[in-house]
Structure 1
Protein backbone atom coordinates (compact mmCIF):
# COMPACT_ATOMS: atom_id res chain seq x y z
CA UNK A 1 0.00 0.00 0.00
CA UNK A 2 1.19 3.50 -0.78
CA UNK A 3 1.98 5.88 2.07
CA UNK A 4 1.01 9.53 1.89
CA UNK A 5 2.73 11.87 4.32
CA UNK A 6 0.68 15.01 4.76
CA UNK A 7 -1.23 17.33 7.05
CA UNK A 8 -4.98 17.73 7.26
CA UNK A 9 -4.97 21.45 6.40
CA UNK A 10 -2.13 21.43 3.88
CA UNK A 11 -3.55 22.45 0.49
CA UNK A 12 -0.97 20.37 -1.37
CA UNK A 13 -1.79 17.31 0.74
CA UNK A 14 -5.50 17.98 0.21
CA UNK A 15 -5.17 18.09 -3.60
CA UNK A 16 -3.17 14.85 -3.56
CA UNK A 17 -5.80 13.09 -1.44
CA UNK A 18 -8.50 14.18 -3.88
CA UNK A 19 -6.59 12.82 -6.86
CA UNK A 20 -5.87 9.50 -5.18
CA UNK A 21 -9.51 9.17 -4.12
CA UNK A 22 -10.75 9.95 -7.63
CA UNK A 23 -8.47 7.22 -8.93
CA UNK A 24 -9.82 4.89 -6.24
CA UNK A 25 -6.36 4.09 -4.89
CA UNK A 26 -5.68 2.62 -1.46
CA UNK A 27 -3.14 4.48 0.64
CA UNK A 28 -2.11 4.95 4.24
CA UNK A 29 -2.19 8.53 5.51
CA UNK A 30 0.70 9.47 7.80
CA UNK A 31 0.34 12.78 9.60
CA UNK A 32 3.18 15.30 9.69
CA UNK A 33 2.10 18.01 12.11
CA UNK A 34 3.06 21.32 10.49
CA UNK A 35 1.75 23.28 13.48
CA UNK A 36 4.44 21.58 15.57
CA UNK A 37 7.09 21.83 12.82
CA UNK A 38 7.44 18.06 12.52
CA UNK A 39 8.33 18.62 8.86
CA UNK A 40 11.58 20.24 9.99
CA UNK A 41 12.68 17.37 12.21
CA UNK A 42 15.49 15.10 11.05
CA UNK A 43 13.22 12.04 10.86
CA UNK A 44 11.06 13.64 8.19
CA UNK A 45 13.87 15.50 6.44
CA UNK A 46 15.59 12.17 5.92
CA UNK A 47 12.56 11.35 3.74
CA UNK A 48 12.24 14.76 2.09
CA UNK A 49 15.23 17.09 2.61
CA UNK A 50 13.06 20.03 1.54
CA UNK A 51 10.94 19.54 4.65
CA UNK A 52 7.60 19.88 2.88
CA UNK A 53 4.47 17.79 2.48
CA UNK A 54 3.11 15.85 0.74
CA UNK A 55 5.44 12.94 0.23
CA UNK A 56 4.23 9.78 -1.49
CA UNK A 57 6.00 6.46 -1.00
CA UNK A 58 5.13 3.82 -3.55
CA UNK A 59 6.55 0.96 -5.55
CA UNK A 60 6.65 0.77 -9.33
CA UNK A 61 7.68 -1.87 -11.81
CA UNK A 62 10.51 -0.68 -14.03
CA UNK A 63 9.73 -2.05 -17.48
CA UNK A 64 13.33 -1.89 -18.61
CA UNK A 65 14.55 -4.01 -15.71
CA UNK A 66 11.38 -5.99 -14.87
CA UNK A 67 11.91 -5.25 -11.20
CA UNK A 68 10.13 -3.27 -8.54
CA UNK A 69 11.59 0.06 -7.55
CA UNK A 70 10.77 1.88 -4.32
CA UNK A 71 9.81 5.48 -5.02
CA UNK A 72 9.79 8.49 -2.73
CA UNK A 73 8.03 11.39 -4.45
CA UNK A 74 7.58 14.98 -3.38
CA UNK A 75 6.18 18.16 -4.93
CA UNK A 76 2.46 17.63 -5.53
CA UNK A 77 2.49 18.60 -9.25
CA UNK A 78 5.01 15.83 -9.91
CA UNK A 79 3.07 13.38 -7.73
CA UNK A 80 -0.19 14.13 -9.55
CA UNK A 81 1.43 13.71 -12.97
CA UNK A 82 2.96 10.41 -11.82
CA UNK A 83 -0.41 9.19 -10.57
CA UNK A 84 -1.96 10.07 -13.93
CA UNK A 85 0.70 8.13 -15.81
CA UNK A 86 1.01 5.18 -13.42
CA UNK A 87 -2.76 4.76 -12.92
CA UNK A 88 -4.47 5.87 -16.15
CA UNK A 89 -7.83 4.51 -15.03
CA UNK A 90 -10.22 7.28 -13.99
CA UNK A 91 -8.15 9.86 -15.91
CA UNK A 92 -7.77 13.37 -14.52
CA UNK A 93 -6.63 14.87 -17.80
CA UNK A 94 -8.88 15.08 -20.89
CA UNK A 95 -8.09 12.92 -23.90
CA UNK A 96 -7.89 15.82 -26.34
CA UNK A 97 -4.68 17.84 -26.49
CA UNK A 98 -6.38 21.24 -26.18
CA UNK A 99 -8.28 20.06 -23.13
CA UNK A 100 -5.10 18.83 -21.47
CA UNK A 101 -3.33 22.15 -21.88
CA UNK A 102 -6.38 24.03 -20.53
CA UNK A 103 -6.56 21.83 -17.44
CA UNK A 104 -2.83 22.14 -16.85
CA UNK A 105 -3.04 25.93 -17.20
CA UNK A 106 -5.92 26.22 -14.72
CA UNK A 107 -4.02 23.97 -12.32
CA UNK A 108 -0.86 26.05 -12.66
CA UNK A 109 -2.75 29.29 -11.99
CA UNK A 110 -3.61 27.91 -8.58
CA UNK A 111 -0.55 25.77 -7.89
CA UNK A 112 2.04 28.31 -9.04
CA UNK A 113 0.47 31.76 -8.66
CA UNK A 114 -2.00 31.59 -5.75
CA UNK A 115 -1.10 28.84 -3.31
CA UNK A 116 2.69 29.35 -2.87
CA UNK A 117 2.49 32.96 -1.68
CA UNK A 118 -0.13 32.02 0.91
CA UNK A 119 1.81 28.96 2.07
CA UNK A 120 2.40 28.55 5.79
CA UNK A 121 6.15 29.15 5.63
CA UNK A 122 5.59 32.43 3.78
CA UNK A 123 3.04 33.55 6.34
CA UNK A 124 5.35 32.52 9.18
CA UNK A 125 8.10 34.65 7.65
CA UNK A 126 5.73 37.62 7.50
CA UNK A 127 4.78 37.10 11.13
CA UNK A 128 8.10 36.15 12.69
CA UNK A 129 10.73 37.92 10.58
CA UNK A 130 8.92 41.00 9.30
CA UNK A 131 6.70 41.44 12.38
CA UNK A 132 3.55 41.76 10.29
CA UNK A 133 0.40 41.66 12.41
CA UNK A 134 -2.46 39.24 11.83
CA UNK A 135 -4.71 41.77 10.12
CA UNK A 136 -1.98 42.46 7.58
CA UNK A 137 -1.34 38.73 7.09
CA UNK A 138 -5.05 38.28 6.43
CA UNK A 139 -5.03 41.19 3.97
CA UNK A 140 -2.03 39.63 2.18
CA UNK A 141 -3.85 36.32 1.75
CA UNK A 142 -7.07 37.97 0.66
CA UNK A 143 -5.28 40.10 -1.92
CA UNK A 144 -3.49 37.29 -3.72
CA UNK A 145 -6.32 34.76 -3.54
CA UNK A 146 -8.77 37.36 -4.84
CA UNK A 147 -6.46 38.37 -7.70
CA UNK A 148 -6.07 34.76 -8.76
CA UNK A 149 -9.75 33.92 -8.38
CA UNK A 150 -10.75 36.96 -10.45
CA UNK A 151 -8.74 35.68 -13.42
CA UNK A 152 -9.88 32.11 -12.88
CA UNK A 153 -13.55 33.12 -12.65
CA UNK A 154 -13.25 34.97 -15.95
CA UNK A 155 -11.82 31.92 -17.70
CA UNK A 156 -14.50 29.64 -16.28
CA UNK A 157 -17.24 32.03 -17.39
CA UNK A 158 -15.84 32.16 -20.93
CA UNK A 159 -15.97 28.37 -21.34
CA UNK A 160 -19.51 27.86 -22.59
CA UNK A 161 -19.01 24.09 -22.98
CA UNK A 162 -17.99 23.60 -19.36
CA UNK A 163 -20.18 21.40 -17.19
CA UNK A 164 -20.14 21.21 -13.39
CA UNK A 165 -16.36 21.18 -13.11
CA UNK A 166 -13.43 23.37 -14.11
CA UNK A 167 -13.36 21.64 -17.48
CA UNK A 168 -15.98 19.47 -19.11
CA UNK A 169 -18.28 17.11 -17.24
CA UNK A 170 -15.77 15.08 -15.25
CA UNK A 171 -13.40 16.09 -12.44
CA UNK A 172 -9.87 16.83 -13.59
CA UNK A 173 -6.59 17.90 -12.04
CA UNK A 174 -7.89 21.47 -12.11
CA UNK A 175 -10.62 20.56 -9.62
CA UNK A 176 -8.04 18.81 -7.42
CA UNK A 177 -6.22 22.14 -7.25
CA UNK A 178 -9.27 24.38 -6.95
CA UNK A 179 -11.15 22.81 -4.06
CA UNK A 180 -8.33 23.11 -1.49
CA UNK A 181 -7.81 26.70 -2.57
CA UNK A 182 -11.48 27.47 -1.97
CA UNK A 183 -11.12 25.91 1.48
CA UNK A 184 -8.15 28.20 2.09
CA UNK A 185 -10.06 31.22 0.79
CA UNK A 186 -12.83 30.61 3.31
CA UNK A 187 -10.28 30.15 6.06
CA UNK A 188 -8.80 33.56 5.23
CA UNK A 189 -12.27 35.11 4.98
CA UNK A 190 -12.12 35.94 1.28
CA UNK A 191 -15.43 37.26 -0.05
CA UNK A 192 -16.47 34.63 -2.59
CA UNK A 193 -19.51 36.54 -3.84
CA UNK A 194 -17.73 37.75 -7.02
CA UNK A 195 -16.90 34.15 -8.00
CA UNK A 196 -20.18 32.29 -8.65
CA UNK A 197 -18.64 29.73 -11.00
CA UNK A 198 -15.92 28.85 -8.51
CA UNK A 199 -18.48 28.52 -5.71
CA UNK A 200 -20.74 26.34 -7.89
CA UNK A 201 -17.86 24.00 -8.77
CA UNK A 202 -16.90 23.71 -5.13
CA UNK A 203 -20.51 22.93 -4.16
CA UNK A 204 -20.85 20.25 -6.83
CA UNK A 205 -17.49 18.63 -6.03
CA UNK A 206 -18.57 18.27 -2.42
CA UNK A 207 -21.40 15.99 -3.51
CA UNK A 208 -18.79 13.42 -4.57
CA UNK A 209 -17.28 10.94 -2.07
CA UNK A 210 -13.73 11.48 -3.34
CA UNK A 211 -13.87 15.16 -2.37
CA UNK A 212 -15.83 14.64 0.84
CA UNK A 213 -13.40 12.01 2.12
CA UNK A 214 -10.39 14.20 1.25
CA UNK A 215 -11.71 17.26 3.10
CA UNK A 216 -9.47 18.53 5.92
CA UNK A 217 -12.14 18.13 8.59
CA UNK A 218 -12.48 14.43 7.71
CA UNK A 219 -8.83 13.57 8.30
CA UNK A 220 -7.65 11.61 11.32
CA UNK A 221 -5.24 14.36 12.34
CA UNK A 222 -7.88 17.12 12.22
CA UNK A 223 -8.63 18.53 15.68
CA UNK A 224 -11.97 17.45 17.06
CA UNK A 225 -14.62 20.17 17.23
Structure 2
Protein backbone atom coordinates (compact mmCIF):
# COMPACT_ATOMS: atom_id res chain seq x y z
CA UNK A 1 0.00 0.00 0.00
CA UNK A 2 1.33 3.46 -0.90
CA UNK A 3 2.02 5.92 1.87
CA UNK A 4 -0.74 8.52 2.44
CA UNK A 5 -0.44 12.14 1.37
CA UNK A 6 -1.67 14.96 3.64
CA UNK A 7 -1.66 18.54 2.44
CA UNK A 8 -1.72 21.30 5.02
CA UNK A 9 -3.38 24.04 3.07
CA UNK A 10 -5.37 27.27 3.14
CA UNK A 11 -8.03 27.68 0.51
CA UNK A 12 -6.77 31.07 -0.73
CA UNK A 13 -3.02 30.45 -0.44
CA UNK A 14 -1.50 30.62 -3.91
CA UNK A 15 1.45 28.47 -2.82
CA UNK A 16 -0.92 25.74 -1.62
CA UNK A 17 -2.97 26.21 -4.81
CA UNK A 18 0.16 25.37 -6.86
CA UNK A 19 0.65 22.12 -5.02
CA UNK A 20 -3.02 21.16 -5.30
CA UNK A 21 -2.76 21.57 -9.07
CA UNK A 22 0.35 19.38 -9.17
CA UNK A 23 -1.20 16.67 -7.05
CA UNK A 24 -4.31 16.68 -9.23
CA UNK A 25 -2.33 16.57 -12.47
CA UNK A 26 -0.53 13.51 -11.11
CA UNK A 27 -3.87 11.91 -10.19
CA UNK A 28 -2.77 11.55 -6.57
CA UNK A 29 -5.27 11.21 -3.76
CA UNK A 30 -4.56 13.32 -0.70
CA UNK A 31 -6.23 14.52 2.48
CA UNK A 32 -6.53 18.25 3.04
CA UNK A 33 -5.78 19.60 6.52
CA UNK A 34 -6.97 23.23 6.66
CA UNK A 35 -4.72 25.80 8.29
CA UNK A 36 -6.56 29.12 8.59
CA UNK A 37 -4.06 31.91 8.01
CA UNK A 38 -6.18 34.61 9.72
CA UNK A 39 -8.39 32.92 12.33
CA UNK A 40 -7.06 33.00 15.90
CA UNK A 41 -4.20 35.23 14.83
CA UNK A 42 -3.24 32.70 12.17
CA UNK A 43 -3.29 29.00 12.90
CA UNK A 44 0.06 28.65 11.12
CA UNK A 45 1.65 30.29 14.20
CA UNK A 46 0.44 27.60 16.59
CA UNK A 47 3.06 25.53 18.36
CA UNK A 48 1.69 22.35 16.81
CA UNK A 49 1.99 23.70 13.26
CA UNK A 50 5.43 25.24 13.86
CA UNK A 51 6.59 21.80 14.97
CA UNK A 52 5.50 20.60 11.53
CA UNK A 53 6.80 23.58 9.55
CA UNK A 54 9.15 25.95 11.43
CA UNK A 55 8.54 28.68 8.81
CA UNK A 56 4.85 28.80 9.80
CA UNK A 57 3.86 28.81 6.14
CA UNK A 58 1.59 26.72 3.95
CA UNK A 59 1.71 24.38 2.22
CA UNK A 60 3.25 21.47 4.03
CA UNK A 61 2.89 18.09 2.35
CA UNK A 62 3.29 14.97 4.46
CA UNK A 63 4.14 11.82 2.50
CA UNK A 64 4.05 9.09 5.09
CA UNK A 65 6.50 10.28 7.75
CA UNK A 66 8.22 12.78 5.44
CA UNK A 67 7.43 16.46 5.88
CA UNK A 68 7.87 18.47 2.70
CA UNK A 69 7.90 22.27 2.52
CA UNK A 70 8.25 24.98 -0.14
CA UNK A 71 5.78 24.65 -3.00
CA UNK A 72 8.25 24.44 -5.88
CA UNK A 73 10.39 21.88 -4.07
CA UNK A 74 7.25 19.88 -3.33
CA UNK A 75 6.22 19.97 -7.00
CA UNK A 76 9.64 18.77 -8.11
CA UNK A 77 9.47 16.00 -5.47
CA UNK A 78 6.13 14.89 -6.92
CA UNK A 79 7.67 14.85 -10.38
CA UNK A 80 10.56 12.67 -9.25
CA UNK A 81 8.47 10.21 -7.22
CA UNK A 82 5.59 10.05 -9.73
CA UNK A 83 7.19 10.90 -13.11
CA UNK A 84 4.04 10.71 -15.22
CA UNK A 85 2.54 12.96 -16.34
CA UNK A 86 5.65 15.10 -16.15
CA UNK A 87 5.59 18.64 -14.75
CA UNK A 88 9.01 19.33 -16.24
CA UNK A 89 9.76 18.82 -19.96
CA UNK A 90 12.25 16.43 -21.46
CA UNK A 91 15.12 18.70 -22.52
CA UNK A 92 17.40 20.90 -20.43
CA UNK A 93 16.46 24.00 -22.44
CA UNK A 94 12.74 23.41 -21.94
CA UNK A 95 13.18 22.65 -18.25
CA UNK A 96 15.18 25.84 -17.78
CA UNK A 97 12.43 27.91 -19.40
CA UNK A 98 9.71 26.30 -17.30
CA UNK A 99 11.69 26.79 -14.10
CA UNK A 100 12.44 30.41 -15.02
CA UNK A 101 8.75 31.18 -15.56
CA UNK A 102 7.79 29.41 -12.34
CA UNK A 103 10.45 31.24 -10.33
CA UNK A 104 9.45 34.60 -11.81
CA UNK A 105 6.02 34.09 -10.26
CA UNK A 106 6.99 32.27 -7.08
CA UNK A 107 10.09 34.29 -6.15
CA UNK A 108 9.69 37.71 -7.80
CA UNK A 109 5.92 38.40 -7.74
CA UNK A 110 4.34 36.35 -4.99
CA UNK A 111 6.60 37.16 -1.99
CA UNK A 112 5.91 40.91 -2.33
CA UNK A 113 2.17 40.23 -2.11
CA UNK A 114 2.24 37.60 0.62
CA UNK A 115 -0.18 37.88 3.53
CA UNK A 116 2.59 38.28 6.10
CA UNK A 117 4.04 41.24 4.15
CA UNK A 118 0.65 42.96 3.99
CA UNK A 119 0.02 42.24 7.68
CA UNK A 120 3.39 43.76 8.56
CA UNK A 121 2.52 46.91 6.61
CA UNK A 122 -0.69 47.21 8.59
CA UNK A 123 0.64 46.22 12.01
CA UNK A 124 3.97 48.03 12.07
CA UNK A 125 3.44 51.04 9.81
CA UNK A 126 -0.35 51.47 9.78
CA UNK A 127 -0.52 51.43 5.97
CA UNK A 128 -4.20 51.79 4.98
CA UNK A 129 -5.95 49.09 2.95
CA UNK A 130 -6.11 51.07 -0.34
CA UNK A 131 -2.35 51.65 -0.26
CA UNK A 132 -1.69 48.00 0.53
CA UNK A 133 -3.89 46.95 -2.37
CA UNK A 134 -2.06 49.39 -4.63
CA UNK A 135 1.26 47.83 -3.60
CA UNK A 136 -0.05 44.39 -4.58
CA UNK A 137 -1.33 45.57 -7.96
CA UNK A 138 1.94 47.37 -8.74
CA UNK A 139 4.11 44.28 -8.24
CA UNK A 140 1.73 41.91 -9.99
CA UNK A 141 1.53 44.24 -12.99
CA UNK A 142 5.31 44.67 -13.01
CA UNK A 143 5.80 40.92 -12.98
CA UNK A 144 3.05 40.16 -15.47
CA UNK A 145 4.59 42.52 -18.03
CA UNK A 146 7.67 40.31 -17.94
CA UNK A 147 5.68 37.06 -18.00
CA UNK A 148 3.62 38.26 -20.96
CA UNK A 149 6.77 39.26 -22.87
CA UNK A 150 8.35 35.87 -22.21
CA UNK A 151 5.25 34.00 -23.36
CA UNK A 152 3.93 36.05 -26.26
CA UNK A 153 5.07 34.85 -29.71
CA UNK A 154 7.69 32.55 -28.19
CA UNK A 155 8.10 29.41 -30.33
CA UNK A 156 7.84 27.15 -27.26
CA UNK A 157 4.60 28.66 -25.99
CA UNK A 158 1.66 26.45 -26.90
CA UNK A 159 -1.72 26.02 -25.31
CA UNK A 160 0.25 26.21 -22.06
CA UNK A 161 3.38 28.05 -20.93
CA UNK A 162 5.63 25.43 -22.53
CA UNK A 163 4.10 23.31 -25.23
CA UNK A 164 0.82 21.46 -25.21
CA UNK A 165 0.73 20.02 -21.68
CA UNK A 166 0.68 21.81 -18.31
CA UNK A 167 3.98 22.18 -16.51
CA UNK A 168 5.40 23.60 -13.31
CA UNK A 169 5.06 27.06 -14.87
CA UNK A 170 1.29 26.70 -15.30
CA UNK A 171 0.98 25.44 -11.72
CA UNK A 172 2.45 28.78 -10.62
CA UNK A 173 0.84 31.10 -13.15
CA UNK A 174 -2.81 30.21 -12.59
CA UNK A 175 -2.84 30.95 -8.82
CA UNK A 176 -1.12 34.27 -9.46
CA UNK A 177 -3.79 35.23 -11.99
CA UNK A 178 -6.37 34.38 -9.30
CA UNK A 179 -4.58 36.80 -6.96
CA UNK A 180 -4.46 39.44 -9.67
CA UNK A 181 -8.22 39.30 -10.10
CA UNK A 182 -8.74 39.32 -6.35
CA UNK A 183 -6.86 42.63 -6.08
CA UNK A 184 -8.46 44.23 -9.13
CA UNK A 185 -5.59 44.04 -11.62
CA UNK A 186 -6.70 44.90 -15.15
CA UNK A 187 -5.65 41.86 -17.18
CA UNK A 188 -6.42 43.34 -20.60
CA UNK A 189 -2.72 43.99 -21.25
CA UNK A 190 -1.84 40.30 -20.82
CA UNK A 191 -3.69 38.36 -23.56
CA UNK A 192 -1.28 35.40 -23.59
CA UNK A 193 -1.52 34.98 -19.83
CA UNK A 194 -5.33 35.07 -20.05
CA UNK A 195 -5.37 32.55 -22.90
CA UNK A 196 -3.14 30.11 -21.03
CA UNK A 197 -5.16 30.53 -17.84
CA UNK A 198 -8.35 29.69 -19.77
CA UNK A 199 -6.75 26.54 -21.22
CA UNK A 200 -5.67 25.46 -17.73
CA UNK A 201 -9.02 26.16 -16.09
CA UNK A 202 -10.75 23.95 -18.66
CA UNK A 203 -8.91 20.91 -17.18
CA UNK A 204 -10.37 18.92 -14.28
CA UNK A 205 -7.08 19.03 -12.34
CA UNK A 206 -7.14 22.82 -12.29
CA UNK A 207 -10.88 23.03 -11.66
CA UNK A 208 -10.64 20.80 -8.58
CA UNK A 209 -7.73 22.88 -7.24
CA UNK A 210 -9.59 26.21 -7.42
CA UNK A 211 -9.85 28.05 -4.09
CA UNK A 212 -13.64 28.06 -4.03
CA UNK A 213 -13.69 24.25 -4.35
CA UNK A 214 -11.62 23.61 -1.22
CA UNK A 215 -13.18 22.14 1.93
CA UNK A 216 -12.19 25.16 4.02
CA UNK A 217 -13.50 27.77 1.55
CA UNK A 218 -16.27 29.92 2.99
CA UNK A 219 -19.69 29.57 1.41
CA UNK A 220 -19.46 33.10 -0.02
CA UNK A 221 -16.44 32.10 -2.12
Instruction: Give the alignment's TM-score, normalised by structure 1.
Output: 0.94
Report whether the alignment pairs 1:23 with 2:26: yes
Cα separation, 2, equivalents of 1:42 and 1:161: 46
Report whether the alignment pairs 1:34 with 2:37: yes
Tell me the SS of whatever aligns to 2:185. coil
Cα separation, 1, equivalents of 2:37 and 2:66: 23
Q: State the Cα deviation string for residues 126-155 of structure 1 (Å, max 9, x = none).
A: 111111001100110000000000000001
Instruction: Give the alignment's TM-score, normalised by structure 2.
Output: 0.96
Cα separation, 1, equivalents of 2:18 and 2:133: 23
User: 2:88 is matched with which residue?
Assistant: 93
User: 2:57 is matched with which residue?
Assistant: 52
Cα separation, 1, equivalents of 2:20 and 2:46: 23
> CA shift at 1:35, angstroms?
1.4
> CA shift at 1:78, angstroms?
1.2
> CA shift at 1:96, angstroms?
1.1
User: 1:207 is matched with which residue?
Assistant: 202
Cα separation, 1, equivalents of 2:116 and 2:19: 19
User: 2:79 is matched with which residue?
Assistant: 84
Cα separation, 2, equivalents of 1:76 and 1:217: 20
User: 1:64 is matched with which residue?
Assistant: none
Cα separation, 2, equivalents of 1:30 and 1:170: 29
| Structure having the larger proportion of residues in helix | 2
> CA shift at 1:48, angstroms?
0.8
> CA shift at 1:158, angstroms?
3.5
Cα separation, 2, equivalents of 1:207 and 1:223: 23
Task: Within 5 Å, give how 1:1-225 maps onto structure 2.
Answer: 1-36=4-39, 37-59=42-64, 70-225=65-220
The runs of at least 4 aligned residues of structure 1 exceeding 2 Å deviation read none
Question: Which range moved further: 201-210 or 158-167?
Answer: 158-167
> CA shift at 1:89, angstroms?
1.2
Cα separation, 2, equivalents of 1:177 and 1:154: 17
> CA shift at 1:161, angstroms?
3.8
Cα separation, 1, equivalents of 2:142 and 2:157: 22
> CA shift at 1:12, angstroms?
0.3
Structure 2 gap ranges (5+):
none
Q: State the Cα deviation string for residues 167-223 of structure 1 (Å, max 9, x = none).
A: 100000000000000000000100100000001111111110000000000001000
Kindly tell me the number of residue pairs found equivalent between the two proteins.
215
The CA RMSD over aligned residues, in Å, is: 0.8
